[in-house]
Structure 1
Amino acid sequence: MFHISCLAPTPLRRAITSLAAATVLIAGCTAPGETTTTEGESPQHMVAAANPLAAEAGMRMLRQGGSAVDAAIATALVLGLVEPQSSGIGGGAFLMHHQADNRSVTAYDGRESAPSEAGEDLFLKADGEPMAFWDAVVGGRSVGTPGLLRMLELAHQDHGRLPWADLFAPAIELAEQGFAVSPRLHGLIAGDKYLKRYDETAAYFHDAAGEALAVGTLRKNQAYADTLRAVAENGADAFYTGQIAVNIVNQVRAASGNPGLLSYSDMTGYQAKRRKPVCAPYRQWQVCGMPPPTSGGVAVLQILSLLEPFDLPAMGAASPEAIHLVAEAGRLAFADRNRFLADSDFVEVPVEALLDPQYLGERAKQISPAGSLGKAEPGLRMQQAHSPQQLNPPSTSHLSVVDKDGNAVSMTASIESAFGSRVMAEGFLLNNELTDFSFRPSVDGLPVANRVQAGKRPRSSMSPTLVLDRQGRFVMAIGSPGGSRIIGYTTKAIVGALDWNLSMQDAIDLPNFVNRNGATDLEEGRGLEAAKTALEALGHEVNLRDLTSGLHGIRLTGDGLDGGADPRREGVVLTQ
């Protein structure tokens, strides 16, 4: 663990932050009765998550004296049951933890990894051209080694209070007694043309007549309960070794039409990792995010740093002027993201250079209130190819927790696209996270940083974020699902809360606006038609479209904890 003072000389700060510390201590920095609701304030503890049953599981742990990590684990396990299209133990996650008593931040990496047999040609056809996206997704080829349970176990070892087995009780009970199919789950089942590809998946999500499970249908899942019970009793080893691991591997390698390469040794050898968070000042706050293999932390920090020279607080919330500036910063951040961000255990990722204040100050000069810069170019010179933008289906789930001692968790979990690979094993869906790799290993003779390599973790956009004050005290936990638009959704909520001083719920409710170094996307049906016209006059190509975020956040105010849940999904805030 390292203590980083904002008052230390810049060369010393850079030397300290370059060390491979998984936990960063931030302090000494100075700068000029229970309710259920979608918005809440509390001086005690709080859970914000994408499903009421999952949030209640987390609150149950908090009522029993559990920590924020205990609550996050219980919440995540229920999400994997009641919201199986978005996350689960067949996938992975990133978790940011803030320890209140010593003001430290730790980043936990549970990202899936590529099989040891995978090569750079994993998603290339015989003629050397990339596979069609959905041809790659559905089946075993896209399945990476799941990381969620190893990561949760590691975080629990560090910060858990309750016994490991206790955290599984709510999910086991719901799996055995049944849960009611929600409107969102029903709609996604009905709209998915791949769920009938495999018999086990088809039978689980459809009735005897082959129709999508109706809203309110009681769905039990004994296989999931049995898997969780084994892990509750014997730890994550019960998942990564023995019969459960064998069955997962068999399902992947036997997937009809598109078998995968996952092996038993991939399962037994998987390791979750503590990583050093990426942190940077933003106005009077300190913002911390996940480092690679996700691009989210670096990209969010870049956007915020690029916006700092501009007086956003003086602009109206989601005004055309503000959207323009955020979009321009997004262009610059995504230009760097698409070129440089990948798994830093395998390729050189210039994180320090990308977050260097002098570098970002020069990049910010490209942003003009008077017009768009158009297509942005990467700002560093490195011999790496641009990674082509490919489809990122908007699945995933985010949860935020604060316990009674002020410890906080911001966690984003995913199986990638809705319903992942569509392959089920042991009562849960397996991920398709390997399609987050670039399908092309090289472009114009240069290697793509995010190319497939054995054991490598694919680049993500997940952005679980913690905001602190300059003394290292908790201010906010926030994050979202949404594919590569996660970065924009998370940034919007941060700007809404910090620059426009909105409540957590109001910041989440703001219309979404995102630029990924192309067209500027505005959320349709949210009153942004006038903004579209204004942005087009500034040179933007603008699309009005559905932008379904799933932001769940908690903010500490002078009145206590202020929570928000995204009305675009089925989330709630629970508080006591």
Structure 2
Amino acid sequence: MFKFCLKFVSLSFFAAFPIFLQAQKQSVIAENGMVTSAYPDASRIGVEILKKGGNAFDAMVATEFALAVCYPIAGNLGGGGFMVARTAKGEYDVLDYREKAPLKAQEKMYLDEKGNVIERLSLDGHLAVGVPGTVDGMIKVHQKYGSLPFKDLVQPAIDLAYRGVVLTQHEANQLNDYREAFLRINTHTPTHIVKPEGKLWKAGDTIRHIELAKTLERIRDYGRAGFYEGITADLIVAEMQSPADPSKKGIITYEDLKNYQAVWRKPLIGYYKGHKIITMPPPSSGGIGLLQILAMIEKYPLARWGFRDKRTMQVIIEAERRFYADRATHIADPDFYKVPVQKLLDKKYLQSRMKDFSFEKAGKSENITAGNIPESEETTHYTIADKWGNVVCVTTTLNGAFGSKVMVKGAGFFLNNEMDDFSIKAGVPNMYGAVGGKANAIAPQKRMLSSMTPTIVEKNGKFLFALGTPGGTTIPTSVLQVFLNVVEFGMSLQEAINQPRFHHQWQPDEVYLEKDGFKATLIQELEKLGYKFQTRSIIGKVNGIRKLPNGKWEGAADYRRDDTAIGY
């Protein structure tokens, strides 16, 4: 269905680092530990930490910083993310290092005097930026769970930044596609990522991130203060005042940076046919969405019907439609809005949501509203397991591709455009087409709603698999379908990831399909019932890790892009 993306890894790499590595349509099997991520360099660095005796949390910190170097379209210092973890003792933990709205943010800051949305103001440039959370998140993970010195976890990313990243074709294409945006939005020219006029990046080229290396050195040497205070903070605040358009200055201040704190939260837990699901609570909508949809479809015999059966697709589409209607109204930052989690996950409530579903015709989103209760898609995901049995499942993002396209002058990293994940105006879609309501309105220091869905699955009290994906609003539905492929249809994790995917999000009222993934006769049958379809090149880039019955790890990474699993 898709062109296979080659992994550009030098021969010296294999000689120096004898591990299991495959460009993936097949899984990677290893005995001790596994890292799956969006880029070979990041997975390699994570496994190096495991081989040195570090645990999964140490490898998480190293992998996160490595992604900031080798995968700048989504890996980041200037963004945020979520971690769901299961320790070797079977205990769960969740870290929310999502970005926050600056102190000077206002509910109507992206509207003109007539109350209309100002086009792209929440997407491009300095006003689109939320207060970054990634660095504080890594500090907190290391303080609570780390075993190796923090400096040893940052150093591999520094070395990579100085040595340079060899581009894949996909990454070269991304940099070329956004060249004009980088030049238009930044007052300085980020020469290390922008080629001179008339020249393009190509596969095999090397990019060195010298300014980013120096920023990482400050983080290595001073920890949190190396980013949220001192030179890096000076550079961020100065950048906020230096947009190409002087009327669109950013609003992040020293106070915003100094006050930012990642938050430890309680995981969301649900059940499906003997499986325990540990996932992300609000401000992510993804965990609630995953559990809602599973509860709505649990009574149907999907395994008997089969993976590509018309009824299977129909049931999933209609459950997805109903979740996204609830998402628009009921889910937001729990520190600002009382999210009715228990009621949204109540079995009777969810059964009632499907009462009007009929196999005879498609539902209509205009007839489905939120129930009455008494997040480009260039995110990135990685999963890590160690020899002791610790598992971390992390989704991190700048929101859109390269975030706001603002690169901090002198610091070498992009800033997010997460402010677009708020409801800029009730009823107006964001960049993913998702409609929001009052609960997710902008407020100072509030976290914006997300779709990220890092998820861990157990059976009979034992770890079974963990997974996640980028993809904006398609994240929960991609995780859902891979979960079902394993649990209902008996696939390996890699087989489950390789299958074509589809997505419905209430508004717009149409089903997205991966191109060439489904038989024309199946789609025609559904069209006769009233379903409308749009094709996409890809939906999600899932990766994950499964524990095999023989005790080994299966690393599974999505062949749709450059995702890579490495184990030892």
Q: TM-score scaled by structure 1?
A: 0.89
Distance in 2 (CA, whole Å) between partners of 1:52 and 1:213 is 19
> Which of residues 180, 183, 190 is equivalent to 2:166?
180
Q: Structure 1 regions of 5+ residues with no counterpart?
A: 1-32, 383-391
- Pairing of 1:395-434 with structure 2 (within 5 A): 395-425=378-408, 426-434=411-419
Give 1:56's aligned residue. Answer: 44
Structure 1 residue 204, shift from structure 2 partner: 2.9
- Pairing of 1:40-189 with structure 2 (within 5 A): 40-101=28-89, 103-132=90-119, 134-189=120-175
1:52–1:570 Cα contact (<8 Å) kept: yes
490-499 or 261-270, which moves further after superposition? 490-499
Q: What amino acid maps onto 1:160 in structure 2? A: G
Give 2:12's aligned residue. Answer: none
Q: What amino acid maps onto 1:97 in structure 2? A: A
SS in structure 1 at match of 2:35:
strand
2:121–2:127 Cα contact (<8 Å) kept: no
Structure 1 residue 442, shift from structure 2 partner: 8.1
1:329–1:367 Cα contact (<8 Å) kept: no
SS in structure 2 at match of 1:112:
coil
- Pairing of 1:340-489 with structure 2 (within 5 A): 340-375=330-365, 376-381=368-373, 393-425=376-408, 426-440=411-425, 448-471=438-461, 473-489=462-478
Alignment length, in residue pairs?
530
1:318–1:511 Cα contact (<8 Å) kept: no
Distance in 1 (CA, whole Å) between partners of 2:347 and 2:165 is 50
SS in structure 2 at match of 1:195:
helix
Distance in 1 (CA, whole Å) between partners of 2:355 and 2:437 is 30
357-366 or 319-328, which moves further after superposition? 357-366
289-298 or 535-544, which moves further after superposition? 535-544
1:205-244 C-alpha deviation (Å, 9 max, x unpaired): 2223353323222111111111111111221221011121
Structure 1 residue 462, shift from structure 2 partner: 0.7
Structure 1 residue 361, shift from structure 2 partner: 2.4
1:121–1:441 Cα contact (<8 Å) kept: no
Identity of aligned pairs, percent? 32
Structure 1 residue 203, shift from structure 2 partner: 2.1
SS in structure 1 at match of 2:127:
coil
Structure 1 residue 181, shift from structure 2 partner: 1.9
Structure 1 residue 354, shift from structure 2 partner: 0.4
SS in structure 2 at match of 1:205:
coil
Structure 1 residue 441, shift from structure 2 partner: 5.4
Structure 1 residue 136, shift from structure 2 partner: 2.9
220-229 or 210-219, which moves further after superposition? 210-219
Q: TM-score scaled by structure 2?
A: 0.90
Distance in 2 (CA, whole Å) between partners of 1:124 and 1:87 is 30
Distance in 2 (CA, whole Å) between partners of 1:234 and 1:313 is 54
Structure 1 residue 201, shift from structure 2 partner: 5.1
Structure 1 residue 549, shift from structure 2 partner: 1.5
- Pairing of 1:14-25 with structure 2 (within 5 A): none
RMSD of equivalent CA atoms: 1.7
Give 1:270's aligned residue. Answer: 260
Q: What amino acid maps onto 2:233 in structure 1? A: A
1:139–1:421 Cα contact (<8 Å) kept: yes
2:328–2:437 Cα contact (<8 Å) kept: no
SS in structure 2 at match of 1:461:
coil
Q: What amino acid maps onto 2:171 in structure 1? A: L
- Pairing of 1:225-240 with structure 2 (within 5 A): 225-240=213-228
Distance in 2 (CA, whole Å) between partners of 1:512 and 1:77 is 30
2:28–2:565 Cα contact (<8 Å) kept: yes
SS in structure 2 at match of 1:196:
helix
SS in structure 1 at match of 2:46:
helix
Give 1:573's aligned residue. Answer: 565
SS in structure 1 at match of 2:128:
coil
Structure 1 residue 571, shift from structure 2 partner: 0.8
208-217 or 535-544, which moves further after superposition? 208-217
1:308-344 C-alpha deviation (Å, 9 max, x unpaired): 1111111222333212111111011111011111111
Structure 1 residue 453, shift from structure 2 partner: 0.4
Give 1:538's aligned residue. Answer: 529
